[in-house]
Amino acid sequence: MKRWVNGYALGTFSDGVDTFAGLVSGDRVRRLDTEEWAKENATVRGLLEDWARVRPRLAELARPPGGVPLDALTVLAPVEPWQIIQAGANYRAHVAEIVVSGRDPGDTRSEEELRRDAEEMMDAKVRTGSPFFFTGLPAAICGPDDDVLLPAESRQVDWEVELAVVIGATARRVPRERAMDHVAGYTVVNDISARDLQFPAEHRPLGGDWLRAKNRPTFLPLGPFIVPADLVPDYRRLELTLDLNGERKQADVAANLLFDVAALIVAASAATTLYPGDLLLTGSPAGNGGAWQRWLRPGDVLEAAISGIGAQHNRCVEEPR
């Protein structure tokens, strides 16, 4: 996939010999492990752990672009997080879609009435409720160009493009007015799920099986790069899209989040401690595989993208036995 970065971004790369953190600008990548100030923090997570000092250095290095051609390198997942916190049902259209598709057989309300009632419910939740969170495993992460492995035991694997917030400073019980100070940058993630394994009858009373459904190897394509937060004028204007074999399946803007990034950081940091390099996934728009009743098959190609942040290109293949 041909990539070009306006401004600059942080990533992890391989040249076939070494894996290294790099600064990408335009179509060039500058290795950061050769910089004297970065040698002790040569991984992206290490750089994020010293973000206040590192951030100004990146701006200096990006002018002018230098290093090796981007297309000569393999782009890997940009960071190895300690933790992945995921928000569910956090886009208005997605929640409305869930309400309409999940109506009881005896519910006589029209689709318009269902959507109106869903809007009222969402407004009340934002005023008085809290985000829904679950946790992901770093072992599920793969690169933005890696194959997605479809397990033989599932026939209902689908997709969800999401904006991922990358934490740049330890956060615990953060007030809203300081929440965005803890954001280092943003990247793209595709939350792959095996829906027929998520709520099996034997586990439904316990809330479902999130491990088997969402945390399989390659079920979390990440990247391509981390764009520093101060290079994103307004994350709410970012456009999220997902194409399956060239056909648009998801499209929305981050302004339609129920709980915005600051609210998610406040809630997540009240429950646990967020560390530099951790990922906070903000939820997915409407249009996943369940909504389309279209499940992933070997040979399918997923293209998840966020304007100004980057795009992924992942092919689906059968998981080797």
User: What pLDDT is stored for residue 99 in this prediction?
Assistant: 60
- Cβ-contact 17, 23 below 8 angstroms: no
User: What pLDDT is stored for residue 100 in this prediction?
Assistant: 63
Task: Say which residues have a Cβ less than 8 Å from residue 56's Cβ, sequence separation at least 6.
Answer: none
With residue 152 as reference, give the H or E element that holds it: none
Q: Is the pLDDT of residue 39 over 70?
A: no
8-state DSSP, 238: P
Residues 184-227: tens digit of each pLDDT: 999 999 999 999 999 888 888 888 899 999 999 999 999 999 99
Residues 44-57: tens digit of each pLDDT: 999 999 999 999 99
8-state DSSP, 119: H
8-state DSSP, 256: G
User: What pLDDT is stored for residue 198 in this prediction?
Assistant: 92
Mean pLDDT of 230-244: 98
Residues 8-23: tens digit of each pLDDT: 999 999 999 999 999 9
Residues 150-196: tens digit of each pLDDT: 999 999 999 999 999 999 999 999 999 999 999 999 999 999 999 99
- What residue type is 101 in one-letter code? S
Q: Lowest mean pLDDT of 54-68, 167-181, 253-267, 301-315, name the range.
A: 54-68
Phi, psi of 275 (to 5 degrees): -115, 155
pTM above 0.75, yes or no: yes
The ranges assigned to domains in the chain are 5-76, 84-318
Average model confidence (pLDDT) across the chain: 92
Q: How confident is the model at residue 101 (pLDDT cuts 50, 70, 90)?
A: low
User: What pLDDT is stored for residue 320 in this prediction?
Assistant: 93
Residue 226 in 3-state DSSP? Answer: strand
- Cβ-contact 37, 49 below 8 angstroms: no
Pairing of strands 227-228, 183-190: antiparallel
Residues 58-79: tens digit of each pLDDT: 988 988 777 999 999 999 999 9
**What span, in angstroms and rounded, lies between the C-alpha atoms of 257 and 297?**
30
Residues 291-300: tens digit of each pLDDT: 899 999 999 9
Q: Please name the CATH architecture into which domain 84-318 falls.
A: Alpha-Beta Complex (3.90)
Q: At which residue do the structure tokens 């409407």 appear?
A: 286
5: tokens are 């970065």
**What span, in angstroms and rounded, lies between the C-alpha atoms of 167 and 269?**
11
